Structure 1
Amino acid sequence: MPTSVPRPGRRRATAALTVLASAAALALPSATAHAAGPQRAGADAPSAPSGTPPTAYVDVAVATVWTGPDSPRPVDAPALTDPVHPDAWQRAMTGEQQKELVSEGLTQTQVQYGRPVYVLEKKDGWSKVAVPDQASPKNPLGYPGWIPDAQLTRNAHYGAVSAHRPFALVDKHLKTQLYDDPQLRSKTLRIGVNTRLPVLGRTGKAVRVDTPDQGPKWLSAGEVSLHRRESDIPRPSGDDLVRFAKKFLGLPYLWGGRSGFGVDCSGLTSTVYQAQGIELPRDADAQALHAGGRKVAKDDLAPGDLLFYAHDSGTGAIYHVALYVGDDKMIEAHDLKPVRISRARFDADYWGAMRYLP
């Protein structure tokens, strides 16, 4: 997403549960700490310093961050509720209404279930927030915007559990299901890729997690990877990034989208990298200019590099980013069309490429 132009019922589990006395009891994959470069996603980040705003947690599958409380239109009602209905919202919008999200700059980004936000201000049932795991030059605390209060909870217990437990990362499919029971029969909430929830225990086929609003729930062990801390996510290769990005093929384009329900260009690239353990800023221009990568010549492109496009024949404001696949192809979310593989465009608007891997 460019920043310089308008953007085109509980059931107590009893069966075979291994309740962990401590997070260290989990048999989790190990990984070595990696060298400097782009920041490892949440890499053992310290607690928020004193004086930071209060923290709330997203308690819907995905919360859209709006430019202001007056940004939503009547058609956007499915995106404002708890529970939220992201698929119904996108189906309800006409093509022109999709374009309005871009031309009027109505939405900014999205935040996954269970993720923290800093509450900067409250107004008429809305909270102005900063999203700490989505870096932006707009605010040093994180990506700013507004979320309906109905989609946030202040759950100090959940926050404490999240800070000290291993987590389950949804990374096998674009969407997965939370369940009430370890037999995975009673479905509750459908959540999206890159969601992280603190782990309380596991059975052979299910992982028990805490949630910000429903207490302990269950995930299929085959739908998640488990990590003690963010920095334990194994460092990806370029091919790993491409394989993960291909999971998004066919996903609808959504201006400000950053979830398994819809993405925009930089929502795609930042999510792919973050789910693979590398933190990039939220927006395309910041990914190019403020992410600690290095510029790569066209002849030296490798899978996983990011390609950027700018106005004024490649010299102006950056408006688009795509992920290089290899063989002069790239994966992109562009022009309100679903995520797809395209021929890499080395036209007048091509700004250049950046690499964030060693």
Structure 2
Amino acid sequence: MAGPDLRRTPARPDLAAAHLRGRVTAERFAEAEPARVSAAVAPMWTGPDAARRGSELLFGEIFDIYERRDGLAWGQARADGYMGYVPEDALAAPAGDTTARVSAPLAHLYPEPDIKAPPRLILPQGSRLTLQGGAGRFRETPDGFVIATHVALDGRPAEDWVAVAESLRGAPYLWGGRSMLGIDCSALVQQALTAAGTPCPRDTDMQAAELGTALAPGSALRRGDLVFWKGHVGVMLDETVLLHANAWHMQVAQEPLDGAIARIAAQDGGPVTARRRP
């Protein structure tokens, strides 16, 4: 029997989450300490050596900490359950429930409601906001002000998740990235679906196993269908054109699906492994 997926399970041989007591074996157990991401983007390293980025956290997201050591916090992203090590200086105490998100690819966070003021941060799409008020051109948060048209309230998901993915066209490819500042293939799908109110796991194998319904090989594709290779995913813009964050173009780019299939196979990336309709 396979053990728990440690990418989404807060458990190590020496330490595990208290709620897993009796379900996993560990030397000690700890309660979660909620923290809020205070940086625009915070890397989630796969190990304490901070040598490889596994994912990222975005401004305002909640990270449950189980250990602090040597400037890193080990814990779990509440948004998608992903585990990793995050720089402590990118985290702060929670600042109240978030009620909105950044809906533009990028948005400035101003210290005052004035577009001439030097921005404090550039927030990526999907950043979580705690709104305190605001009318007219700005929305106020505990950290500053954001242009109102760059904000979407919770409960108002994007109508077209593929259009959200298209809005990130040109974003540079970044392994483990989740934003317009740098994004990978599975995060492009995750960010777009999440904006439309559909929960989405982090990695391609999780998405291939958990999203939507499987399509038989040779099935006609349509806008919004997902095409998977081993370790890669893209979204169809129509029946023939694929949009994906990829290391060939080194950005989010579109191309004919047939061309992508041929090129990936020629690079020993293998054949298409699945087609799914979210």
TM-score, normalization by structure 2: 0.80
Q: Deviation per CA, 1:47-92, whole angstroms, max 9, x where unpaired? A: xx898511111110000101122134xxxxxxxxxxxxxxxxxxxx
The 8 Å contact of residues 55 and 119 in structure 1, kept in 2 or not, is answered as yes
Cα RMSD for the two superposed structures: 2.0
Which amino acid in the other structure matches residue 241 of structure 2? K
Count of aligned residue pairs for this structure pair: 239
Q: Give me the whole-angstrom Cα distance separating, in 1, the residues matched to 2:164 and 2:273.
A: 25
Does structure 1 residue 145 correspond to structure 2 residue 124?
no
Instruction: Tell me the equivalent position of 1:258.
Output: 178
Q: Deviation per CA, 1:114-141, whole angstroms, max 9, x where unpaired? A: 110111222211111111212xxxxxxx
The structure 1 residue matched to 2:251, chosen from 332, 338, 348, is 338
Unaligned runs of 5+ in 1: 1-48, 73-105, 135-141, 212-216, 311-318
Instruction: Tell me the equivalent position of 1:184.
Output: 115
TM-score, normalization by structure 1: 0.63
Q: Give me the whole-angstrom Cα distance separating, in 2, the residues matched to 1:306 and 1:113.
A: 28
How many angstroms does 1:207 deviate by? Answer: 0.6
Q: Give me the whole-angstrom Cα distance separating, in 1, the residues matched to 2:156 and 2:147.
A: 19
Does structure 1 residue 107 correspond to structure 2 residue 53?
yes
Q: Deviation per CA, 1:255-314, whole angstroms, max 9, x where unpaired? A: 0000120101101111111112111100000001023x101234332211111013xxxx
The structure 2 residue matched to 1:295, chosen from 180, 189, 214, is 214
1:117-266 pair list within 5 angstroms: 117-134=63-80, 142-155=81-94, 158=95, 161-162=96-97, 166-167=99-100, 169-172=101-104, 174-186=105-117, 187-211=119-143, 217-227=144-154, 232-234=155-157, 236=159, 240-266=160-186
Q: Give me the whole-angstrom Cα distance separating, in 1, the residues matched to 2:112 and 2:68.
A: 37
Instruction: Tell me the equivalent position of 1:62.
Output: 41
Unaligned runs of 5+ in 2: 1-18, 21-29, 263-269
**Kindly, what percent of the aligned residue pairs are identical?**
29
> Match of 2:175, SS?
coil
Residues 235 and 243 (structure 1 numbering): CA distance in 2 closer, same or farther, change over 3 Å?
Answer: closer
The 8 Å contact of residues 329 and 343 in structure 1, kept in 2 or not, is answered as yes
Structure with the bigger percentage of helix: 1
The 8 Å contact of residues 264 and 334 in structure 1, kept in 2 or not, is answered as yes
Does structure 1 residue 327 correspond to structure 2 residue 239?
yes
Residues 190 and 52 (structure 1 numbering): CA distance in 2 closer, same or farther, change over 3 Å?
Answer: same
